[in-house]
Structure 1
Amino acid sequence: MTRPNAIPLAPARLAEFVSDGFHGSMEWIAETLQRRAEPSTLWPEVRSIVVLAMNYGPDHDPRDILEKRNRGAISVYAQNRDYHDVMKGRLKEIAGKLV
């Protein structure tokens, strides 16, 4: 949990990230830059931000397959459900307990 202004350099760093092209083909990042840089733009009454993370990796080392030259490797992100859907479900569970 943190304050919305806990990282004063975040807006400038995000703008630099986009101007350097590090967002790649994800144009939505550039298009929503302002509201992502300043949480109060999205919600003026914001006082706190809850930061959550979830380990979405497999139970095994995904690099092991690379040593098996006779087999193809599927990227880890493509082996499971879309993380957007997984995270959304988990966030809704948490939100339901907070309300």
Structure 2
Amino acid sequence: MHIQILTMSFSLPGCRSLKEKRQRMGGIHERYGRQPAVAVCESGDRERLDASEWSFVVVGNSAQEVESLCSEIEERVQRTVDARVMAAVRDRL
């Protein structure tokens, strides 16, 4: 079994409320948390309105499978979230 953690940091310029922050982040938890091989949570910058950090724990039978799923998540999040991706870091466990 292979495990990788993908941590993505976002900037939300001009965000003025927690409600707006939730709307702009576009339901990341609902979208990716339903996949059986992925656990997702807001892991940082919870109190800030202009920033957010999300971590995805991805599990698979092969390193290639995990790497592919992390790449897919990263690409889809960049396309669907109304925020700037400031960093995307992957850590293998």
As a proportion of its length, which structure holds more strand?
2
TM-score over 0.5 for the alignment? no
Q: TM-score, normalised by structure 1?
A: 0.26
Which has more helix, going by share of residues?
A: 1
By relative contact order (CA 8 Å, sep 6+), the higher-ranking structure is 2
Larger-Rg structure? 1
